Chain A
C-alpha cells in the first residue's frame, strides 16, 4: 500500500538553515548541505526547502544553492521561494528538483499555476498556503512570509488552486509554526473534505503522536515538520533527527 509521507521542511535564510516561531525569531540551525547529508542517511520520504527571504526581498532564487542541495538529495525534493515565472521554474527543474512550491505568487498571479501545470505536469506544481487568524479571529491566507493579509478565505482559495491544476497543497499554519503543540486538526479536516488532491499539513508537530493524530483525524496525505526534526528536548538543542522506518510503520499501524 501507499505509505503516508513524513517530510522535513527546512527554511533557508541568509544562506543558512533557520527555524522560526510563528514566522518570527529565526534561529540558526546549521549548514543546509550538511543537514541534507544527514537527512539522506536517515532515508527521509521527501524534503522541502523554502527560501523565506526571496519573495520578501524580491530576489531571484539562489540557483547555485538549489543545485548544491539537489545534487545531494536522493529523494524527492521540493523548492519554494521567490518563484514568479515559467523561465525560473524551467531552470530550477533542470537542476534536479521535482517539485516547485508557489506561495505569494499563487495569490498574485494564479494563472501561473495553470500554465506551469500544463508545461511541467500537475505533480510538479505545489502550492503552499500560509494561514493565520486575523484580528477578528477569522482564518485568512497570508503572503510575504506572513506579513500581508490577502483577506482570502482559505477554503475558497484552495478550491481555486485545485481547479487551476496544482498537484498538491501544503497547508502551513502560521499560528502553530514552531509551537510544537500539534496540527490544526479542525481546519485540515475541513480542507480534506473539500479537496481531492493530496494535502500536506505543516505547522505544529512536536512529537510522533501529533503526526499519528493528524493522519487519523483529518486523513491528510502527508505531513511536513520543521522544529521536530531539528530540535531535541525541552531546551530545543539543535539536533537533526528523523524516526527510523520501522518506527514510522509501527506508528502508522502498518506493522
Chain B
C-alpha cells in the first residue's frame, strides 16, 4: 500500500486516480497509523517552497515519515514541489528543505529570454542512470510545470535530465528516496509506466 501524503498541498486525487488505473493500491492520508503501516510514500506538491515545507513539517505525521524513510528505508517518491522539498534549499524561499538528497533548488536563468517561465508543457527526458523507476521508459515524454529546477551537488544522485534552453536535472535519487520534476499523474502511458514501476519496486 502506497500512502499519498496529504499535507494540504497538491493534486492528490489525480495521483490516486492513476495508481488505481494501473492497479497499484494507494490511499490519500494524513493518519499516523496508516502512514506507519504503508510500504511506500508519495510526496505530492504544488505551490511555493516555504509554504510547502512548513506545511509538511507541521503535520502530526512528519516525525513518523522521517523515521520510516530515513531509518526503515521505505521508498518515497516526490513529485514536482515534492521533489524540490527533498533538497537542501530553494531560491524560491528562505526555509531549509528536507536535505534528504544533497541538492539545491534554483530558479531558471535562461540566456534565451524569449522562452517563457514557467517551463510548461510536454518534454522528453533522458534517463542517465539505469534504475527501475525508468524501466521501459527509454522513449518518453512527460508534462512539466515549474519555474525552479534542481541542481545536484553530487552527480551520482542524478537520475534523468531534460532540456529547456539548457540541460537540467529532472529526476533525482538516493537509496530509497526518489524525485521527479514532471507530473507522471498527468503524463498518459508514460506516467502510468513510471508510477507502476514505483509501485512494483
Contacts and interface: CB of A to CB of B under 8 A. Distances in A.
Interface of A: 1-5, 40, 43, 45-46, 70-71, 73-76, 93-96, 98, 120-124, 167-168, 196-198, 221-222
17 contacts: A2-B121, A5-B121, A73-B14, A74-B185, A74-B186, A74-B187, A76-B186, A93-B11, A96-B13, A96-B17, A98-B14, A98-B145, A120-B46, A121-B46, A121-B47, A124-B46, A198-B116
A249 to B, nearest CB: 10
Contacts of A198: 116, 120
A76 B163 contact: no
A236 B192 CA distance: 35
Contact of B48 (A40, A43, A121, A221): A121
Contact of A3 (B115, B121, B188): B121
B47 A3 contact: no
B123 A196 contact: no
Contact of B192 (A1, A71, A74): A74
Nearest to A40: B188
B12 to A, nearest CB: 8
A74 B121 contact: no
B188 A74 contact: yes
B143 interface: yes
B53 to A, nearest CB: 15
A86 to B, nearest CB: 14
A94 B13 contact: yes
A9 B189 CA distance: 21
A197 to B, nearest CB: 6
Contacts, number: 79
A221 B13 contact: no
B11 A1 contact: no
A74 B122 contact: no
Contacts of B13: 70-71, 94-96
Nearest to A198: B116
A28 B30 CA distance: 44
Contact of A43 (B123, B183, B188): B188
Interface in B1-31: 11, 13-14, 17-18, 21
A123 B145 contact: yes
A222 B121 contact: yes
Contacts of B11: 93, 96, 98
